[in-house]
Structure 1
Amino acid sequence: MKTYYVYILKCNDGLTYTGVTNNISRRFKEHQKGLNQSCFTFKRRPLQLVFHQEFNDINQAIYFEKKIKNWSAKKKLALADKNFDMLQILAECRNATHSKYNLENE
C-alpha cells in the first residue's frame, strides 16, 4: 500500500507552503535545495517542515491539501502546533475585526 503525505512548510519570511507527496523526506530536501527557481519556496529558504499527515488514498490526500491550502497561515500553524482551540477560533471567523476574539494579541 502506498503512503501519501500532505505537508506544511514554514518559510523564512513567515509564509507557509502546502503540498502533497509520496516521499516526504525527498520532497523536503528538494524544497530546501531550491531545485526549482520558479517554486514559491525558492526565495523563502531556509524552510521548516512544521506539519505532515499520512494518507493511504491519494484522493483523500489531494482533498485535504486543497482544503488547507485556502487556510490562513495562522490557521495552518495552529494545526501544526496542535493548538486545536485556536484552530476552532480561526475557523469560526477569518476576519478578526468581525470576530468576538481579539487575535491581534496572538
Structure 2
Amino acid sequence: MWFLYVLRCADDTLYTGVTTDRARRLAEHNAGRGSRYTAGRRPVSMIGSWSFADRAEAQAAEAHFRRQSRAQKLAIVADRLPFLGSPFHYPD
C-alpha cells in the first residue's frame, strides 16, 4: 500500500509526498534526510494522508494534489475529505 501524505513545515508551508511507511518517512524529514525542501523547514508534522493500491496511483494523486491551491489543500485536510476515491487517514 502506498500513501500520499501532506506535511506542515515549521514556516507554515505545506509539503506533499508519497511513501509506503508514513512513520519512517516523517522521521526522515525531521532528521533532515527527507528532502532538501523540508530539511530547512523543520520540524514538520504530518497533517493527513490517503492510501492507494500502488505507487503509480499515489504519484498521480500527488501530482493532482499539488495542482490545488493552498486553500483547497487545507480544506481537503481540515474536512478530512476523500481524495481521488481514497479515504482520508488521520496521521498516526
Q: Identify the TM-score tier after normalising by the shorter chain.
A: 0.7 to 0.9
Mind listing any 5+ residue stretches in structure 2 that lack a counterpart?
Answer: 82-92
Instruction: Using structure 1 for the length normalisation, give the TM-score.
Output: 0.69
State how many pairs are aligned.
Answer: 81
State the identity %. Answer: 33
Change (3 A) 1:43 1:66: same
Instruction: Using structure 2 for the length normalisation, give the TM-score.
Output: 0.79
Task: Give a deviation string over 1:61-101, Cα, whole Å, max 9, x none.
Answer: 111000011222221111111176xxxxxxxxxxxxxxxxx
Report the counterpart of residue 96 of structure 1 in structure 2.
Answer: none
- What SS does the corresponding residue of 1:46 show, helix, strand or coil? coil
Task: State the alpha-carbon separation in 1 of the partners of residues 52 and 80 from structure 2.
Answer: 21
- CA drift at 1:35: 2.0
- CA drift at 1:48: 1.3
**Rg larger in 1 or in 2?**
1
- What SS does the corresponding residue of 1:78 show, helix, strand or coil? helix
- What SS does the corresponding residue of 1:41 show, helix, strand or coil? helix
Quick check: 71-80 or 43-52, which moved more?
A: 71-80
CA RMSD of superposed structures (Å): 1.6
